[in-house]
Chains A and B, each alone.
Chain A
Amino acid sequence: MDDKLSTQPVDRAGRLTAVLNDPVWLKQNSELDGSGYVEAGNGLQGYVELLKAVTPEVFREQKRQVRALSMLLPVLHDWLVSWELGASFEAVYIEAQGLLFQRIQKASAAQESWIEALISAHEQGTSAEHPHQQLRARLAEILTQENWQAIAKVADQDMEQRILQHSQAQAEIPAAV
């Protein structure tokens, strides 16, 4: 199936990109998926055993949460990028995405209905009715004040750690006389 990859000394990244964007290859690839179990590696036996216990009901709820995250994570990412957090961006984003997931899992009734409306708009192809600015405002609501405090604390700790690492590393270099 991946004959198109070949061993010829070519632009390998370009060749892989071409294959992974080829509609014919993608269709074949999708058909080969079967049950969706593709796991390899001895260490994944526990993961697969756990997945086998997932019920269709739990699975449907997972898909709904993933759909909501797929719509909100890019907005969260771009929003945090606009804050110009520098080297602390990644630590802040990791904390924020984890908290957002927790909030989606434990959404209030009002938040649930908004998430449903968001998913419904996506499925009907009208998600453009929810511009980024509006989604940012919703994100600001979904994450609680405690969540924002936790995110700010992570930024603070990350910056502190970086400053101390740099100053300590410099202190270990003997000063020139």
Chain B
Amino acid sequence: MQLPIQVTTGAGTLVPGLICAMSQAHLSQIETIWKGMLLALQEPDKAWNWAYKLRLATDEAGFEACVVEVDGLAQGVILIETQWHRSQLNGRISARLPLVYVEYLATAPWNRRGIEDPPFFTGIGGTLMAFARNRSAELGFDGRVGLHALPEAEAFYRRQGMPNYGPDPDKDGLVYFEYGILQP
């Protein structure tokens, strides 16, 4: 899969990009360039287990990883699981409907206005969520997507209009968000 898209720069202009399956070259960029940007900080390795798990997950059934790429460089990544997770909307486990579960969603270090305005690119997270929702519809899950947001990102998912199901004790109290079905 390789879809041509537009990506918004921090200055507000649109530039061509791609949304595509994560390649080994992308994974290497996350492990070297994203991480390398933070080498000036202390002990970056402690924070980098997720990239190792991302590498392992790409070989497992039911997992799919995609990136937003601009000029050959990965600007954001999403890892979804499509077989085991179920919607939280129905009470009885047997009645719960399948969904796309977002194991990881991350944007590159330089794409955040919270550090300095303007960032390099904006809207990478929203683009990856649109991909996840579309993938859910494609799989016959009607657009259902679930995820556990980090506290710093809760406001982002609220702005996306994603229903909030409160803190999940099984996930260190992270708030669970879930999109219901897309409008027909």
Q: What is A's interface to B at a CB cutoff of 8 Å?
A: 1-3, 5-8, 12-13, 15-17, 19-21, 23, 26-27, 29-30, 32-54, 56, 58-60, 62-63, 65-67, 69-71, 73-74, 77, 90, 93-94, 97-98, 101-102, 105
Contact = CB atoms under 8 A, between A and B. Distances in A.
A5 B153 contact: no
Interface in B11-30: 12, 14, 19, 23-25, 28-29
Interface residues of B, number: 87
Contacts, number: 243
24 contacts: A1-B161, A5-B143, A5-B182, A7-B143, A20-B3, A26-B6, A29-B122, A29-B123, A29-B126, A32-B159, A34-B155, A36-B122, A40-B149, A41-B150, A42-B148, A42-B172, A43-B53, A43-B104, A47-B48, A48-B150, A58-B41, A66-B120, A67-B120, A97-B29
Contact of B8 (A19, A30, A49, A56): A30
- Looking at chain A's contact residues, the main secondary structure is helix
Given A58-B40, A101-B33, A34 B156 contact: yes
B41 A7 contact: no
B36 A63 contact: no
Contact of A5 (B23, B25, B108, B137): B137
